[in-house]
Structure 1
């Protein structure tokens, strides 16, 4: 099979299209013929191998798994031992291993049926970013009437966060650069263009700030929260060695000193939450926003676009 592989850590130029054996599904796994796969910022971190702490899990000198990609949508090609939830020919979406390839293996526990209402590209855009937004808002315990600000609202996680917050009856402010029309089309109440306005210097206060960018200090972000508001820091950006870990530690300490909460959260795929997202997408309450699509042969170009930091919606590999 064709797969986009990396033999070393680095930029998009380390990726090349190569021939690899088609993987075999193990217990509780299925083999998926990948029809679409989306990029996440986590893919960029593992491509570059930064922060260096990631290499303890991914491989110190070079990646143990040379094929990047987690989010996928496609057709089940074969099933492993003990699998009864899916069978060959089923259309599925979820998280797998090595999705930037013609075939990938995925655990049944991280897959759900793809609805006919979604294209393969939309379905592939849903899992990691949608779940991160869902789990973050759940951690913040948002409720109807809450004022929610999403920093980095036009990106993958942000575009889902604004829609999920609106679905829950929140008043949503989106911070982005020149994506007013896109975000207002999904029901955002107010859009702040960071190029001309700094929301941390304005008088508005929010019950929840969902920060996907980390371009403001924790002190300034907490300043725009209500007395008992919640800050959700969600960014992999940070130092070369430890990434966002120092910022997370500072956030935990800050929570002990102020009335607001700095809430860190962990997002992992599971069928129940994937099914919830799929139901919302099927009903039209959430629309996966696909920004650009690339063929598998141009996966390096897709990473370059993502790494530039100005992607709108999700970047998807379509095949």
Structure 2
């Protein structure tokens, strides 16, 4: 099988395609023929080794794991003994989390892992992209902000994979959503259902008179200090990007009337992720969730995928297609 492998930190070109023996499912494992996998921000940090604290997770001097990729969709083609949840031929999608390894043609996953059945109506590309964005946005809104119908939400970085999912999920949960993005993505974000789209090049969403119950900064474009003035009493500032400041503010803000929250959603237990995947599958099948796709690239173009992620200006997810969509349909 082919995998996208890297053995040292650096630019996108450090990732190359190599051949490896195909693994086999044992015990309570299943083997998945991967059709689509995402190149996400965490993959970019792991590949480059930046910021510096990324190496605490991925390896101080060199990468601990040479194949990246968490979010995937594919078809089960082998099951181990005692597997009862899945069968050969099942369409599935899921997230590997810190274990990574999804940038490969074949992937072995524990039956009890963060994996769920994929409805026939949902494409492999959309399924992988939902893991890339919505599997992060959902717990932030539900568990971090305790979002309720009628509340007002500001999403900063609304054109990225997490931000776009946050816009759609917040609307689904009954919130009024204002969404911030660059001028190139105003139409895209409007199509996601935002009540108001703010072009960051012409307006400062945090500097105006509007106030919000939740400010969800998906790209670390602001700070809790800046957002406080735009938060209503009892409001919550969410950010997906760790820093010493936000970790300290998460502790100290508990004593105040406005909270700062960061969640490490990728480190959640598989048992917590699996029900979320089943919920996302239902939302995808119903058309409630429509993950935007910046570009699909073939496995051998993985370096181009990383360049798109590194640019910081993508609209939605970058997806590796390991099996062409036409071949999937014929299968």
Of the structure 1 ranges 246-255 and 300-309, higher mean CA displacement relative to structure 2 is found in 246-255
Q: Quick check: 1:98–1:105 contact (8 Å CA) kept in 2? A: no
- Give the Cα–Cα distance (whole angstroms) in 1 for the partners of residues 155 and 223 of structure 2: 15
Look up the SS of the partner of 1:201 in the other structure: coil
Query: In the alignment, what sits opposite 2:247?
Result: 249
User: What per-residue deviation string (whole Å, max 9, x for no partner) do you get for residues 63-111 of structure 1?
Assistant: 1221111110111121234321112111111113311111112232211
The structure 1 residue matched to 2:173, chosen from 168, 175, 189, is: 168
Query: In the alignment, what sits opposite 2:290?
Result: 287
Look up the SS of the partner of 1:33 in the other structure: strand
Query: In the alignment, what sits opposite 1:211?
Result: 217
User: What per-residue deviation string (whole Å, max 9, x for no partner) do you get for residues 156-194 of structure 1?
Assistant: 011110000001111000100122221222211001111
Report how far residue 254 of structure 1 moved: 4.5
Of the structure 1 ranges 149-158 and 248-257, higher mean CA displacement relative to structure 2 is found in 248-257
The structure 2 residue matched to 1:154, chosen from 139, 156, 159, is: 159
- Give the Cα–Cα distance (whole angstroms) in 2 for the partners of residues 89 and 217 of structure 1: 47
Does 1:110 find its partner at 2:114? yes
Q: Quick check: 2:132–2:317 contact (8 Å CA) kept in 1? A: no
Report how far residue 21 of structure 1 moved: 1.5
Query: In the alignment, what sits opposite 2:328?
Result: none
- Give the Cα–Cα distance (whole angstroms) in 1 for the partners of residues 316 and 57 of structure 2: 29
Query: In the alignment, what sits opposite 1:241?
Result: none
Query: In the alignment, what sits opposite 2:260?
Result: 262
Report how far residue 131 of structure 1 moved: 1.4
Q: Quick check: 1:40–1:129 contact (8 Å CA) kept in 2? A: no
* Number of positions where the alignment pairs a residue of Structure 1 with one of Structure 2: 311
Structure 1, gaps ≥5 residues long:
236-243
Q: Quick check: 2:38–2:132 contact (8 Å CA) kept in 1? A: no
Does 1:126 find its partner at 2:124? no
CA RMSD of aligned residues (A): 1.5
Look up the SS of the partner of 2:206 in the other structure: helix
Change (3 A) 1:117 1:162: same
Query: In the alignment, what sits opposite 2:313?
Result: 310
Query: In the alignment, what sits opposite 1:142?
Result: 147
Look up the SS of the partner of 1:131 in the other structure: helix
Structure 2, gaps ≥5 residues long:
323-331
Look up the SS of the partner of 1:298 in the other structure: helix
Report how far residue 257 of structure 1 moved: 5.3
The structure 1 residue matched to 2:229, chosen from 196, 208, 223, is: 223
Report how far residue 55 of structure 1 moved: 2.7
User: What per-residue deviation string (whole Å, max 9, x for no partner) do you get for residues 213-244 of structure 1?
Assistant: 22223211111100111111112xxxxxxxx2
